[in-house]
Structure 1
Amino acid sequence: MMTDPIFYAVAIPAVFLVGLSKGGFGGAMALLGVPLMALAIPPVQAAAILLPILIVMDAVTLWSWRKHWDPATLLIMVPGAVIGITIGWATAAWITDPIIRLIVGCVALWFFARYVTLALAARRNASPAPADEHRPVRGGLWGALAGFTSFVSHAGGPPYQIYTLPLRQDPKVYTGTSVRFFAIINAIKLVPYFALGQFDIANLSTSLVLAPIAPVATLAGAYIVKRMKPEIFYPFMYAMVFLTALKLIWDGVVHLLAG
């Protein structure tokens, strides 16, 4: 178990921010988890410590959002996610995290720019942009990318959001579905993480110490999101996509320049 007080000074806020995100606030805050913990320990070790805590958060969020979800989204995206995780596992020795973060960040930034362009056009036409319908091929591809990036860098949120946000589901349905999607992904990721030797007694003990923070933060996030109106929720979520894109691009560029 980690005993360094500096580690816990950064790990406790990191876990709390990730919990708020898992409760329904989107991926920007979740992406701060590993970088904050990496101020005190290596990033790979930070990811390994965080994954069991994510499983605890998933259990809490599944209960919090048990009545709200869209089966069609999961049927379309989960098979692709399994393929993406498998590819990530098979290529773990060759794929570099900075490049993945840079690519995902650029795609997310394009997605946000597209949203702003369509929103401005809709405002000029005095009519809201229509919601997209499910498209299985597109959903499967974005699901695969979400699974792959979640495995290699815990950055599966932007690909998932690129497919699901344009569906303009009820905020509760959107959040409940995303909770189920990432709970499935995180459960599947446990197997390859064990196979790659990412877990040991010290890391798992540290995860256990930090785990009590998870339900408190997650329930707080769910409480707030359940009371947000769609006209507030969706602009907020797109703002989270924008911040996520900037964070991923920054991380990718900094690591590539340093390397």
Structure 2
Amino acid sequence: MLFFALAIPAVVFAGVSKAGFGSGAAFAATPILALILDPAMALGMMLPLLMLVDAVTLRPYWRQWDWRSSRHLILGAVPGVALGAFFYTAADPDLLRLFIGGMAIAFVLFQLSVRMRWLRYRVRPFHHGVGMVAGLFAGFSSFVSHAGGPPVAVYLLAQGQSKTVYQATSVLVFWAINLTKFVPYVFLGIFTADTLRADLYLAPFALLGAWLGVKAHRLVPERAFFILTYVLLIVTGSKLIWDALG
């Protein structure tokens, strides 16, 4: 009961974020689940659900993305995923908890820096080489913690895109990244019978989150949504870091 009490809202939340708010907050589901599961199990359980959300979210944003930005990010993400696979084989569960928790805190600090105007985006779009570097970091952090949103956000927001173009580009990029991650996850044994069984139970809630996210993209102010996200990430990230160091 504790598992479902945490997993159901986490999966719905991830679906809403990916489908409506650019994927950045979607990885909050992983640190939430890592509070009660082995980090590898949390990663393995979330990937098929994230891929399901990707698949059903492509259609509402079809061809509204910035293909040039998408291409550069995806090309950089492929070697980033490979680096993530290499890092994963050398990591123990506490190191993964520390990394996931650190990414959660870092994401909040990044967003706070933007809100407080300590960090400013360039008005002029980044060069495509920066997009490939952002893709590299996104592929790596997405592989080890499903936390590829911040580097992609930095690059895309600098392009001065509209809300919908930004969202559509993010959907396309993470659809490709998650597909790339699937095969290494299989070979590393991250998927298990237990994670797949849990996915069957949670798939309807992922679809519900995706549907709500598309609706929310047009209706709900982002500010209220992300305030809740930041609080959630600070709490779960701090708890994971405490557990890892303890």
TM over 0.5: yes
Does 2:238 correspond to 1:250? yes
Deviation at 1:159, TM superposition (A): 1.2
Structure-2 residue corresponding to 1:7: 3
Q: Distance in 2 between matches of 1:18 and 1:57?
A: 9
Q: Distance in 2 between matches of 1:89 and 1:35?
A: 19
Residue pairs, 1:151-230, within 5 angstroms? 151-227=143-219
Q: Distance in 2 between matches of 1:81 and 1:237?
A: 28
Cα deviation 1:143-182 (Å, max 9, x = unaligned): 1001000001111111111111222211110000000101
Q: Distance in 2 between matches of 1:137 and 1:106?
A: 23
Structure-2 residue corresponding to 1:19: 15
Q: Is the 8 A contact 1:111 1:162 kept in 2?
A: no
Does 2:72 correspond to 1:76? yes
CA distance 1:34–1:106, shift in 2 (3 Å): closer
CA distance 1:137–1:245, shift in 2 (3 Å): farther
Count of residue pairs the alignment pairs up? 242
What SS does the corresponding residue of 1:211 show, helix, strand or coil?
A: helix
Q: Is the 8 A contact 1:20 1:29 kept in 2?
A: no
Cα deviation 1:219-248 (Å, max 9, x = unaligned): 1111121346xxx65x67986896687468
Q: CA RMSD in A?
A: 3.0
Q: Who wins on radius of gyration, i.e. which is larger?
A: 1
Deviation at 1:82, TM superposition (A): 0.6
Question: Which letter does structure 2 place at the counterpart of 1:102?
Answer: G
Structure-1 residue corresponding to 2:113: 113
Q: Is the 8 A contact 1:158 1:244 kept in 2?
A: no
Q: Is the 8 A contact 2:12 2:206 kept in 1?
A: yes
Question: Which letter does structure 2 place at the counterpart of 1:109?
Answer: L
> Which segment drifts farther, 6-15 or 180-189?
6-15
What SS does the corresponding residue of 1:117 show, helix, strand or coil?
A: coil
Q: Distance in 2 between matches of 1:114 and 1:40?
A: 32
Q: Percent identity?
A: 32
Deviation at 1:30, TM superposition (A): 1.9
Structure-2 residue corresponding to 1:126: none
Q: Distance in 2 between matches of 1:87 and 1:194?
A: 16
Structure-2 residue corresponding to 1:58: 54
Q: Is the 8 A contact 1:109 1:246 kept in 2?
A: no
Residue pairs, 1:122-161, within 5 angstroms? 131-161=123-153
What SS does the corresponding residue of 1:212 show, helix, strand or coil?
A: helix
Question: Which letter does structure 2 place at the counterpart of 1:180?
Answer: L
CA distance 1:242–1:35, shift in 2 (3 Å): closer
- Unpaired stretches in structure 2, ≥5 consecutive residues: none
